[in-house]
């Protein structure tokens, strides 16, 4: 088949022409008198047909390339900021603190301070450190961590009231905090604040690591000479103790430290816990509701105009901008139902996000139920099952993989939502772990949003590290979804 | 409960409608106890529709409506105080395409007894074993009752479905073209099983089949259905099924009373 010379020939599609070159077409004429193109013009046209196909194929592969490039750019952007050199300086070096503890508290002059990690010191030792270096602020720490009365009453109230729930010596119960001396304050701090919190406090208040300058991963790799110049300049100038280190902003301390005003020690502990709490309650709320509504629509409700209107509008609800759910949550869960949800709590956030993903859950569950073959239902009814037995024992198990997939899709959406929680009034700065459905909360996307909106590079690096955590969380969710779906499928199929 | 004479089930002027369309018109039949009755006829003659009317499977189609009376144990199945769940438990059904549940072989057979509230593992095992034996499947699957029912061959799946049905001890078993999706050897196994179910296990079977040889091989009675047409306005045609002839199988095939039956079994239409 030689078609080379036909590449550029314009090809008039004229069926009348077919008669002269194609005797074979005339012999058999199943087309009822319509002459098909002869072989010559068919070949000419075939070249165009094939070429049109390959143009589309090229366009489609191009779209894929664009998508991949965009994804890579995004990943680069995040990773670039999350790793790199930082220039830091401590107000007081950790070894100095450890040395103080060893000599003045433990009376141990033989151990080398460099071999003892700050984080291994005991609570009372850390309290002693705070007294040594920050004595005037001891009462502030007590107020921030232990006080249960409003800040302006703290100094006047007897500690029986202001420190209710904390331990202190009984004879001081009727005195105010100002009546006690530094030794007592130290005792109260050491006895009531958990050791890991005291470590954090010493890091912020005593050691006071400050980040002077940060560089991105690209800069760290390509421009070390400049970075070193900056270090030398700092050491010779105002920051003689400045140190250069390569820092992964994503590290264990980042995961387990609470939010802080100092980017050197700020972490996402509260946000991570908040996200976990919110997700658990969100799914616990929307899964039964979503599956229940889908079951009712699919299995019980008559197929009339009302159910069709409802079904269509549930689909529409899935496309409503999430900020609207936030406003709804604000006026219903935070304000109107404050007595139940205690206002801006994890419960309010969960219910709002639950409503947000409910349409997705219903629609996906409905699809999954619809995909259950009628033979499954017939088989069950044929054995004398009631409708509920049929649903519970046959239809639901068969639809479960699809329902779970829908649930995880909903969760993936909820976990990244920021706007509705902002509208709801999520805390942007929170150092206290959420302890239950009624706690105040912050979640990862809020934390990220809050960090990215700050001006300096350090916060952007923190935000990037938090984004990586969020993405890992999302990917593991999706992986869990795929795993569960496959497991269910394997159970259902031979 | 005393039996209604010698009849397992009796149809009196049974008509089935889908919406406003008549599907089957006024069928009158008396099905014998512990016999195999075959429904034959061309596609669209309503034989499956009549079969499904016998255990109220048509209830699952919201537009379907049944008129007339189906008398079973002296009661009209479409009477006001009849629960279709009870009807289906006493009149079981086997479908055209084998439809085991996506569960283990054991759970497939135990599905019906569990619906009835039997929880004891030992009792369930007994029922599963005797039902699988009754369906000629026990020897093939006794080693792997935990295997998925869907892992069996087509013929085995259909016998599993029969085992599942007889596990709730229905009085009548309806079979809607049970062998049409199977190969000849599996078909033969199903046919022998049907004969055994009737002769040795005292079931009554009603079978819909496309295959006239099958009807001749297995059935004691045969009902022949056919199609009636009527021209409606605007050139539209209305079609519905009727019962043409109901006789002992041999008589129907050897000396049919109706000329239409003779033409159908002679292969002239269908």
What residues of A are in contact with residue B63 (Cβ under 8 Å)? Answer: none
Q: Is B115 on the interface with A (CB under 8 A)?
A: yes
Question: Which residue in chain A has the smallest CA separation from B90?
Answer: A384
| Residue A60, pLDDT above cutoff 90 | yes
Q: Where are the beta strands (DSSP E) in A28-137?
A: 83-89
Check A303 against B62: CB less than 8 A apart.
Answer: yes
In this structure, the dihedral spanned by the alpha carbons of residues A76, A78, A80 and A82, taken in order and rounded to 10 degrees, is: -150
Check B148 against A493: CB less than 8 A apart.
Answer: yes
Helices H / strands E in chain B, number of each:
10, 10
The predicted structure's pLDDT at residue A19: 44
pLDDT band at A355 (very low <50, low <70, confident <90, very high): very high
Q: Is B266 on the interface with A (CB under 8 A)?
A: no
Long-range pairs, A140-149, Cβ under 8 A, ≥24: A141/A189, A141/A193, A141/A201, A141/A205, A142/A177, A142/A185, A142/A188, A142/A189, A143/A177, A145/A189, A145/A192, A145/A193, A145/A197, A146/A188, A146/A192, A146/A193
The predicted structure's pLDDT at residue B270: 59
Q: Mean pLDDT across chain A, nearest whole number? A: 84
Mean pLDDT of all residues in A376-392 = 89
3-class SS letters over A129-141? HHHHHHHHHHHHH
Q: Per-domain residue ranges for chain B?
A: 7-97+172-265
The predicted structure's pLDDT at residue A472: 92
Question: Which residue in chain A has the smallest CA separation from B60?
Answer: A378
Q: Is B138 on the interface with A (CB under 8 A)?
A: no
Check B100 against A303: CB less than 8 A apart.
Answer: no
What ipTM does the predicted assembly reach? 0.88
Q: Is B164 on the interface with A (CB under 8 A)?
A: yes
The better pLDDT of the pair A429, B153 is held by B153
For the domain bounded by B7-97+172-265, which CATH number is listed?
3.40.50.300
CA atoms within 13 A on the CB side of A393: 23
| Residue A430, pLDDT above cutoff 80 | no
- The span from the CA of B193 to the CA of B199, in Å, is 10
Residues 6 or more apart whose CB falls under 8 angstroms from that of A450 comprise A428, A429
pLDDT band at A1 (very low <50, low <70, confident <90, very high): very low
Domains along the sequence of chain A with CATH: 94-256 (no CATH), 269-492 (1.10.3720.10)
The predicted structure's pLDDT at residue A22: 45
pLDDT band at A14 (very low <50, low <70, confident <90, very high): very low
What is the residue-wise DSSP string for A107-150? Answer: ---SS-GGGS-GGGS-HHHHHHHHHHHHGGGHHHHHHHHH--S-
Do the Cβ atoms of A413 and A357 come closer than 8 Å?
A: yes
- Across the strands, what pairs with B91? B172
The predicted structure's pLDDT at residue A284: 92
- Burial pattern A167-196, b for ≥16 Cβ within 10 A else e, equals ebeeebeeebbeebeeebbbbbbbebbebe
The predicted structure's pLDDT at residue B268: 67
Q: How far is B102 from chain A (nearest CA, A)?
A: 5
Phi and psi for B94 in degrees, rounded to 5? Answer: -120, 135
Least CB–CB distance from A302: residue in B62, B92, B94: B62
pLDDT band at A29 (very low <50, low <70, confident <90, very high): low
| Residue A491, pLDDT above cutoff 70 | no
Q: Is B151 on the interface with A (CB under 8 A)?
A: yes
Least CB–CB distance from A381: residue in B60, B90, B147: B60
Per residue in A103-146, pLDDT (tens digit) is 888 888 788 888 888 888 888 889 988 888 888 888 888 888 88
Do the Cβ atoms of B168 and B116 come closer than 8 Å?
A: yes
| Residue A147, pLDDT above cutoff 90 | no
- The span from the CA of A58 to the CA of A47, in Å, is 16
pLDDT band at A8 (very low <50, low <70, confident <90, very high): very low
Phi and psi for B64 in degrees, rounded to 5? Answer: -75, 145
Per residue in A291-329, pLDDT (tens digit) is 999 999 988 888 888 989 998 999 898 888 889 998 998
The predicted structure's pLDDT at residue A10: 45
Least CB–CB distance from B85: residue in A384, A393, A398: A384
∠ CA A373-A379-A385 to the nearest 5 degrees?
Answer: 120
Check B60 against A491: CB less than 8 A apart.
Answer: no
Q: How far is B62 from chain A (nearest CA, A)?
A: 8
Count of A-B CB contacts under 8 Å? 77
Q: How far is B162 from chain A (nearest CA, A)?
A: 11
pLDDT band at A20 (very low <50, low <70, confident <90, very high): very low
The predicted structure's pLDDT at residue A15: 45
Optimal mutation site among B64, B77, B115, interface A, most CBs of chain A within 10 A: B115
- The span from the CA of A111 to the CA of A114, in Å, is 9
- Burial pattern A287-321, b for ≥16 Cβ within 10 A else e, equals beebbebbbebbbeeeeeeeeeeebeebeebbeee
Coil, strand, or helix at residue A276? helix
Least CB–CB distance from A384: residue in B95, B102, B168: B168
| Residue A287, pLDDT above cutoff 90 | yes
| Residue A332, pLDDT above cutoff 60 | yes
Identify the contact set of chain A against chain B, taking CB-CB distances under 8 A.
Answer: 302-303, 373, 375-386, 389, 393-394, 397-398, 491-494
Q: How far is A294 from chain B (nearest CA, A)?
A: 19
The predicted structure's pLDDT at residue A24: 46
Q: Which residues of chain B have pLDDT under 50?
A: 1-4
Mean pLDDT of all residues in A339-356 = 87
Q: How far is A370 from chain B (nearest CA, A)?
A: 15
Least CB–CB distance from A394: residue in B57, B101, B148: B101
Question: Which residue in chain B has the smallest CA separation from A384?
Answer: B89
Question: Which residue in chain A has the smallest CA separation from B112?
Answer: A383
Check B89 against A384: CB less than 8 A apart.
Answer: yes
CA distances from A360 to A194, A459, B53, B216 (A): 43, 34, 39, 55
What residues of B are in contact with residue A384 (Cβ under 8 Å)? Answer: 85-86, 88-90, 92, 112, 115-116, 168
Question: Which residue in chain A has the smallest CA separation from B52?
Answer: A382
Containing A25, the helix (H) or strand (E) segment is helix A23-27
The predicted structure's pLDDT at residue A466: 92
Cβ under 8 Å to A: B residues 89-108:
89-90, 92-95, 97, 99-103
Check B111 against A380: CB less than 8 A apart.
Answer: yes
Question: Which residue in chain B has the smallest CA separation from A392?
Answer: B115
The predicted structure's pLDDT at residue A282: 92
- Across the strands, what pairs with B66? B16
Check A384 against B86: CB less than 8 A apart.
Answer: yes
Check A393 against B111: CB less than 8 A apart.
Answer: yes
What residues of A are in contact with residue B168 (Cβ under 8 Å)? Answer: 383-384
What residues of A are in contact with residue B165 (Cβ under 8 Å)? Answer: 382-383
Q: How far is A493 from chain B (nearest CA, A)?
A: 6
**Which token pair is A409?**
């899709």
What residues of B are in contact with residue A377 (Cβ under 8 Å)? Answer: 60
């Amino acid at each position: 088949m030689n078609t080379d010379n036909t590449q550029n020939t314009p090809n008039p599609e004229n069926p009348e022409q077919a008669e002269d070159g194609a005797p074979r077409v005339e012999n058999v004429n199943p087309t009822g008198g319509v002459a098909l193109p002869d072989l010559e013009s068919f070949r000419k046209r075939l070249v165009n047909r094939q070429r049109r196909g390959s143009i589309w194929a090229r366009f489609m592969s191009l779209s894929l390339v664009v998508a991949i490039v965009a994804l890579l750019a995004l990943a680069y952007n995040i990773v670039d900021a999350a790793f790199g050199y930082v220039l830091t300086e401590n107000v007081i070096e950790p070894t100095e603190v450890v040395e103080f503890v060893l000599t003045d508290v433990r009376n141990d002059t033989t151990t080398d301070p460099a071999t003892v990690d700050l984080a291994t010191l005991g609570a009372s030792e850390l309290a002693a450190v705070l007294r040594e270096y920050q004595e005037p602020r001891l009462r502030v720490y007590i107020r921030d961590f232990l006080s249960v009365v409003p800040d302006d009453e703290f100094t006047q109230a007897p500690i029986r009231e202001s420190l209710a729930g904390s331990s202190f010596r009984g004879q001081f119960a009727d005195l105010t905090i100002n009546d006690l001396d530094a030794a007592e304050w130290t005792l109260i701090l050491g006895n009531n604040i958990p050791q890991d919190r005291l470590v954090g406090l010493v890091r912020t208040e005593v050691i006071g690591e400050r980040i002077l300058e940060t560089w991105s991963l690209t800069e760290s790799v390509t421009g070390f000479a400049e970075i070193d110049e900056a270090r030398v300049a700092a050491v010779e100038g105002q920051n003689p103790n400045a140190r250069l280190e390569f820092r992964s902003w994503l590290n264990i301390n980042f995961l387990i430290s609470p939010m802080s005003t100092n980017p050197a020690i700020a972490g996402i502990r509260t946000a991570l816990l908040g996200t976990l709490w919110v997700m658990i309650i969100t799914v616990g709320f929307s899964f039964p509701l979503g599956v229940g509504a889908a079951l009712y629509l699919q299995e019980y409700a008559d197929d009339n105009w009302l159910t069709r209107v409802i079904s269509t509008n549930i689909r529409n609800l899935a496309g409503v901008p999430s900020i609207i759910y936030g406003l709804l949550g604000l006026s219903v869960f935070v304000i109107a139902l404050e007595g139940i949800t205690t206002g801006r709590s994890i419960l309010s956030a969960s219910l709002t996000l639950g409503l947000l993903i409910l349409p997705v859950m219903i629609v996906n569950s409905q699809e999954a139920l619809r995909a259950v073959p009628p033979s499954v239902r017939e088989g069950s009814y044929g054995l004398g099952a009631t409708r509920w037995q049929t649903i519970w024992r046959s239809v639901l198990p068969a639809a479960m993989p699809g329902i779970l997939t829908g649930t995880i899709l909903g969760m993936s959406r909820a976990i990244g939502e920021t706007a509705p929680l902002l509208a709801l009034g999520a805390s942007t700065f929170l150092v206290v772990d959420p302890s239950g459905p009624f706690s105040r909360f912050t979640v990862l996307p809020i934390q990220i949003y809050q960090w990215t909106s700050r001006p300096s590079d350090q916060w952007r690096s923190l935000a990037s590290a938090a984004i990586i955590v969020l993405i890992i969380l999302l990917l593991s969710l999706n992986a869990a979804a795929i795993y569960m779906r496959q497991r269910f499928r394997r159970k259902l199929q031979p | 409960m005393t039996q209604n004479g010698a009849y397992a089930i009796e149809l009196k002027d049974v008509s089935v409608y889908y919406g406003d369309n008549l599907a089957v018109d006024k069928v009158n039949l008396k099905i014998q106890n512990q016999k195999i009755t075959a429904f034959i006829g061309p596609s669209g003659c309503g034989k499956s529709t009549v079969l499904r009317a016998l255990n109220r499977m048509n209830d699952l189609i919201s537009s379907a409506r049944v008129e007339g009376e189906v008398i079973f144990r002296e009661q009209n199945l479409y009477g006001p105080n009849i629960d279709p769940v009870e009807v289906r438990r006493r009149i079981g059904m086997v479908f055209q395409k084998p439809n085991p549940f996506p569960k283990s072989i054991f759970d497939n057979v135990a599905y019906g007894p569990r619906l009835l509230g039997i929880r004891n593992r030992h009792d369930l095992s007994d029922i599963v074993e005797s039902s699988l034996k009754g369906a000629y499947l026990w020897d093939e699957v006794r080693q792997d009752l935990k295997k998925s029912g869907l892992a069996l061959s087509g013929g085995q799946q259909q016998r599993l479905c029969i085992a599942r049905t007889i596990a709730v001890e229905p009085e009548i078993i309806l079979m809607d073209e049970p062998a049409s999706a199977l190969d000849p050897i599996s078909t033969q196994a199903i046919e022998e099983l049907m004969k055994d179910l009737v002769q040795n296990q005292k079931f009554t079977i009603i079978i819909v089949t496309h295959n006239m040889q099958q009807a001749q091989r297995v059935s004691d009675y045969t009902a022949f259905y056919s199609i009636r047409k009527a021209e409606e306005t605007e050139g539209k045609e209305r079609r519905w099924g009727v019962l043409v002839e109901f006789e002992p199988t041999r008589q129907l095939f050897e000396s049919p009373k109706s000329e239409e039956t003779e033409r159908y079994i002679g292969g002239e239409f269908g």
